[in-house]
Each structure stands twice: as structure tokens, then as C-alpha cells.
Amino acid sequence: MRIIIFLFQQILKMKNFNLDEAIRTIIKEENNILLSKIEAVVSKIQTADDSEKPLNFKEALRYMNCSQSYLYKLTSTNQISHSKKGKKLYFTKRNIDQWLLENKVSTISEMEENAASYLKPIHKNKIQ
């Protein structure tokens, strides 16, 4: 709404004011704003759907950037979530991402914080 007021003020400052042209300009700007909002929503929906779309074995290999033998090992030992239809294996990006982030390595500062919070109760018990 603020942009409409701003545009209308700018148009009123013009020497050769034309109401029809002013209205067209305002409508055009409003349409551009609505179109960009719609595109953003569509993009979010497509991204959300993309994470649930099944990937076949080759697509999963490309996504994970690993060897065939390693991915077969992960599936045969049930270390990574997958679906099996006949002899074909399927994965989702969401499950692959979860698996990739499972074994997070802590930073030195995170380890120091964990150690400090772990040692606090021990020191309290020794003092009493």
C-alpha cells in the first residue's frame, strides 16, 4: 500500500499528469509485487517437494558424491534410510541429508563448553 501512495505522489508531481497513465503505472507495479511474491511461494513449494522426491541409486550417488560400493555398504548394513522396490533402491534428499549430518564433529569451543558443564556437578559434590 505504501508503494501505491509513493507512486501516486510521484505521478502527481509530473507536469503532464494523466490519470489513466497513473492508474496503469500503479496497477503495473502492484502486479510486479504480487508476481514476485507468488514466485517466492512457488519456489518454496518446489524446494519442499524436491526433498521428498525419490532418488534412484545413480541420482543418490551424484547427490552424495560417493562410490557405488560405499552406498551399497550403507544400504546393506541399514546405516542409511532407503526404500527397496524389487531390486531397485530409492532414497530421499531429506533422509540423505539427515544421515550426512548425523556424525557432527564438535568444535574445540563446543567440546570445552561440554566439558565445563560436565565438570560443574562433580566440583559441587567434592566441595560438600
Query: What are the grid coordinates assigned to 97, written together?
Result: 541429508
- Looking at the fold, whether 125 and 71 belong to one and the same domain comes out as yes
Residues 45 and 59 in one domain: no
- Residue 55's pLDDT is 94
Distance CA 35, CA 62 (A): 34
Domain match, 41 and 19 both: yes
Which pLDDT score, from 0 to 100, does residue 121 have? 66
- Both 75 and 123 in one domain: the answer is yes
**Judgement on whether residues 13 and 58 belong to the same structural domain of the protein:** no
| Alpha carbon distances (Å) from 85 to 62, 74, 88, 90, 128 | 20, 17, 5, 8, 62
Give CA–CA dist 73/35, Å, rounded. Answer: 47
Question: Which DSSP symbol is given to 27?
Answer: H
61 shares a domain with 42: no
Residues in the chain, overall count: 128
pLDDT of residue 44: 73
Specify whether 128 is located in the same domain as 68. Answer: yes
State the total domains in the chain. 2
- Decide: pTM greater than 0.95: no
What are the grid coordinates assigned to 73, written together? 555398504
Q: Are residues 24 and 82 in the same domain?
A: no
DSSP letter (8 states) at residue 107? P
pLDDT at position 106: 81
In this structure, are 81 and 121 located in the same domain? yes
What's residue 61's pLDDT? 95
Question: Where are any strands of DSSP class E within 82-127?
Answer: 83-85, 88-92
Domain span holding position 119: 53-128
Same domain, 40 and 82: no
Please tell me whether residues 45 and 60 are part of one structural domain: no
Would you state the pLDDT for residue 65? Answer: 93
Residue type, 29: E
Per-residue pLDDT of the chain (128 residues; tens, 9 = 90+): 676 677 667 766 766 666 777 778 778 888 888 888 888 888 776 666 666 789 999 999 999 999 999 999 999 999 999 999 999 999 999 999 999 888 788 889 888 888 888 777 665 555 55
